[in-house]
Amino acid sequence: MREIAHLRFRTNTFGAIFRIRHSLSFAVHEFFHQRGFLYIHTPIITASDAEGAGEMFRVTTLPLDGSAVKDGEVQFKDDFFGRSTNLTVSGQLEGELAAMAFGNIYTFGPTFRAENSNTTRHLAEFWMIEPEVAFADLEDNMNLAEDFIRYIINYVMQHNADDLAFLAQRLEEEEKQKPVTERSMPLLEKLSFVVQNTFERITYTEAIQILKDSNHNKKKKFQYPIEHWGTDLQSEHERYLVEKHFKKPVIITNYPKEIKSFYMRMNDDGKTVAAMDILAPGIGEIVGGSQREERLDVLLNRMQELNVPAEELDWYLDTRRYGTCIHAGFGLGFERMVQFVTGMGNIRDVIPFPRFPKSCNF
């Protein structure tokens, strides 16, 4: 159906998926509106790279025949905006500006990543939900994210019961074709698993020890074994913690600073940052967030360590120079949530017109 995506809306499966997507979207706005959050539209075209990853789509009106290159450099001063610009990878930094004025805000809009990935979990164009909360620490952030996930899943279970039942039956037929050891948790059981359980909260250090012990005791053999503290967790590690060890959703906190972004608040140990990831069954990480670094001197040091140019983010640093407070926020990839709720195996099937490497139809 992905090959003839202009007709797939007409099928029962995709009808159910996009009705659920609508309900989830409505529930997002309802959740934040009820709690006094202000909805902020952050820019799609930006001059910054929020994550420092460099995987961005360039936005330009310069000719592609090479005439805009002089002395080996692209003359961005002649471009439409007079500087290098790209499609946004996150609205977080702009969202922080609003949070310092209004207190509690959220963004919900399209984001773009030029990552040459063909996995079932990645898209080039996807939607992100990013709340930012003033006077909030990491604990407040985790509480908000857990309440949020539980709220929007409950909303769909109440308002899209028929669609969920249809998708559950469809998935059950697919699972019967697999060996018993490879079968996933039934869809409705998986959703109840999330909304009915308090999320387990552990530190990154504790998670690493659990994974090491499981490998040592031969409970689980990983494709990518955990060998030392500081290793970035893979999806197989995240799913083991959720589905086998704790048997409930898991929030991991206090990651090594080397594997996290510059804006995350440094902990007192000097080795970890006040970050958190929420892991869900069947999919692994579904939310990533942190308490933000509000101390100007520490933030500048981190930017220098990670080669993030301070002059390009001077406007962001002003939020620390001219009155600030502790604050925190998180990001939830909307398509990944839709994928989780519908049980679809490929993220390209939960967005109407998927964009991925070598494909941009319509």
Closest CA to 256 of 267, 248, 245: 267
- b/e sequence 241-252, b meaning 16+ C-beta within 10 Å: bbbebbebbbbb
pLDDT tens for each residue of 263-300: 999 999 999 999 999 999 888 899 999 999 999 999 99
Dist CA 93 CA 100 (whole Å): 11
CB 248 within 8 A of CB 198: yes
Domain ranges of the chain: 2-59+74-349
DSSP string, 81-134: TSS-EEE-S-SHHHHHHHHHHHSEEEEEEEEE------STT--SEEEEEEEEEE
Per-residue pLDDT at 48: 82
Q: What is the pTM of this model?
A: 0.93
- Looking at the domain that runs over 2-59+74-349, which CATH code has it been given? 3.30.930.10
Per-residue pLDDT at 219: 67
Per-residue pLDDT at 296: 97
CB 343 within 8 A of CB 153: no
pLDDT tens for each residue of 100-135: 999 999 999 999 999 998 888 889 999 999 999 999
Dist CA 267 CA 285 (whole Å): 22
Per-residue pLDDT at 218: 66
pLDDT tens for each residue of 42-55: 999 998 877 655 58
Segments of the chain with pLDDT less than 50: none
Amino acid at position 143, single letter: N
